[in-house]
Amino acid sequence: MRAPCPRQRKQALEPAVLSEAGVVPLPPVGEFRGFDTGLLVRNVLASLDDSKAEDVVSIDLHGKTTLADMMVIASGRSNVHVGAIADRVIKSCKEAGLPTPRVEGLPHCDWVLVDANDVIVHIFRPEVRQFYNLEKMWGGDRPGERATERRVV
C-alpha cells in the first residue's frame, strides 16, 4: 500500500472552516476601536500635567508611520519621577476604559514607553531624552509638509 502524498495528508489535517473547528480568529493586536484618538490624547496630556511632567511635546504621526496616530514625549526630573509619571498615564488609560497599555522600561525608569494603541508616550530623564532626541527624528518635516509639533506648557 502506498502512503498518501504530503498534499493529501496536509488537507486531511486542516479543518475546512475555522468555525467547524470551534476556533474564533482573534482580532489583530492594536485593533481597539471605539475610542476617539483626540480624547485619548487629551487624557494622556491631562495625566502628564497632573503628574508634573516637564517639556511635553506631541507629534502628529499621520502620514509618517502606521505605528500610531500621535506620539507624546515628556521628561521627568528623576527615575522615581519618570516611574510615577508612567504609572499615572497607565492608570488614566485604564480609568478611561482602554485596554491596559503595553509598557517597556518601567524597571529602570530612564526611558519608559507606554503604548496606548493610537498614542505612544515616551517618558525620559532629561539627559536620556537629549541623547536620543526623538523630537528631531519624528518631528522633522517631509518634503512639502509643515511640522505639526506642539509644545504643551
Per-residue pLDDT reduced to its tens digit, 36-66? 777 788 888 999 999 999 999 988 887 777 7
Looking up residue 62, the CATH number of its domain turns out to be: 3.30.460.10
Assigned domain for 80 exists: yes
When divided into structural domains, the chain yields a total of 1
Backbone angles phi, psi at 124, to 5 degrees: -120, 160
Assigned domain for 36 exists: no
Whether the CA torsion 76, 77, 79, 83 is positive or negative: it is negative
Assigned domain for 11 exists: no
Assigned domain for 18 exists: no
pTM of the entire predicted model? 0.68
The arrangement of strands across the sheet holding 150-152 comes to: 102-104, 111-116, 119-124, 70-75, 54-60, 150-152
Whole domain around residue 77: which residue ranges?
51-152
